Structure 1
Amino acid sequence: MSTRLKLGKIHHIALIVSDYKKSKKFYCDVLGLDIIAGTYRAKRDSYKLDLKLAGGDQLELFSFPNAPERLSFPEGCGLRHLAFAVTDIDEWVEYLNQCSIDVEAIRVDELTGRRYTFFADPDGLPLELYQG
């Protein structure tokens, strides 16, 4: 491969969710992501929701009838977790607790000295807050 070819930033991350309405509420109302577009695809009986994070990155939520379950533990093979950069992790933990969302104890990354913690989305997908 040519050393001149370089990948750019991540364009989007796609998640398949089990309950479209519940996940839309979680990612939009609780986490504050903005909606770019929402589409219902009748042929697939599937919803697709494009969401924008503050930095312009995108998250896509898909729903499919009878989608198979997937392991979601942070140490399972496959996607480990999604990490979101935050400026004040303590504020976020307090806010998530007020929303009745369980958040693990804040840890310190032994390599960077930065603080981080985990919580889960409605399907149990591990999400990380990383104070940057």
Structure 2
Amino acid sequence: MTGAPPTTGVHHFSPTVSDVEASAAWYTRVFDLDRLPGEARHHGDEDGGYAILLLDRRTGLLIGLHHHDGHHGGAFDEQRAGLDHIAWGVRKRSDLDAWARWLDEIGVPHSGVIDKAARKYSAIVFRDPDGIQLELFHRNG
């Protein structure tokens, strides 16, 4: 075999959150997601917590917001080992302008559109209720 077998892309994103219901409401509102019924117990730790599942019907991306009974607390920090951020791609640069207007409309603080001509990308940076950095990203050219 030469090279890794193919994938179909990112299937799901599963952050641990401090308040699963507040985060579910936030992600649902910001990304226009559908909440799936029930709770998903943690594989291998069925008694230690659960996830609420949210589906983006346009792309098929699943977001599993995890509650752990043994959550240690503390704020998210991308400078520790683990997740730095996750980015959603958009098709056109003008889609970022539409996202900036949407985030303003629903009261989500954000960076505004950042254009990095030398690096050939544009992005918007914002954070979820736990401070997890999220981006909307467009590759220019």
Q: State the TM-score, normalized to the length of structure 2.
A: 0.75
Distance 1:4 1:128, change over 3 A: closer
- CA offset digits 1:85-129 (Å, max 9, x no partner): 234111111111222211013212433x23101000010000001
SS at match of 2:53: strand
Consecutive unaligned residues in structure 2, runs of 5 or more: none
2:23 matched to 1:16? no
Q: Give % identity.
A: 26
1:1-132 pair list within 5 angstroms: 2-3=1-2, 5-8=4-7, 9-39=9-39, 41=41, 44=47, 46-53=49-56, 54-69=58-73, 72-86=76-90, 87=92, 88-109=95-116, 110-111=118-119, 113-131=120-138
RMSD of aligned residue pairs (Cα, Å):
2.5
Consecutive unaligned residues in structure 1, runs of 5 or more: none
Contact 2:40 2:53 in 1 (8 A): no
Structure 2 CA distance for aligned equivalents of residues 85 and 34 of structure 1:
19
Q: State the TM-score, normalized to the length of structure 1.
A: 0.79
